Amino acid sequence: MVFWVFGYGSLVWNPGFEYDEKVIGLVKNYKRVFDLACIDHRGTPEHPARTCTLEENEGAICWGVAYCVRGGPEREKAAMEYLERRECEYDKKSLVDFYKEEDDSQPALTGVIAFTSTPDKISNRYYLGPAPLEDMARQIATAFGPCGNNRDYLFLLEKAMFDIGHEDDYVIELANEVRKELEITEKKLLSPRKMVSRVVRIPSVQHPLQEVMAMESS
């Protein structure tokens, strides 16, 4: 058995398992949305984080990375067991066609595994559904869990898409809204105390690498 898995969230920058090949490309008729709850990595049951999943959408595309695992049953089993533990909040494994270029008529790979979720709050307890941009940004700005802040997940995804040469406008818009929310929160904390201090303002620009570096140095 040889399998390919499509990464479109944290798998883009942190696969976490041994793989034999990595290919940048896209899937068609799916879009990336932040409609899935995370309660064990970037959030908690009381304050869930928002992480991305794939939503079927005719004509849409979603860029990401496909990883190949080969080398025998034991190695492949270990990789899949790791992925199933890590992606436990996704209730489906969809098989998708993977393309190297947007205008390709034939997929480069077929039967690629993508961890996805049922868009139904009744049958899928981790599905949060869509929300206004400001509400999502407020949730992402404040949620944190054992693996870190929800906002870092978003900013790292923004940077990862920049690094592979396929920035996602939706991710950039949401990340900029989170930055606005963080600035508002910072002002509220500083204003009553009338403190004079250096306030690091991360601008809403289209260069994620510089932004993440600014965050880490502040």
Catalytic (active-site) positions? 87
Q: What angle, rounded to 10 degrees, do the helices at 150-163 and 169-190 form?
A: 140
Structure tokens at 187: 């002002």
CB–CB of 38/45 below 8 Å?
A: no
31 has which bridge partners?
55
Q: In 3D, which of 143, 112, 182 has the Cα closest to residue 34?
A: 143
Strand order in the sheet with 3-7: 21-38, 49-69, 3-7, 109-116, 92-98
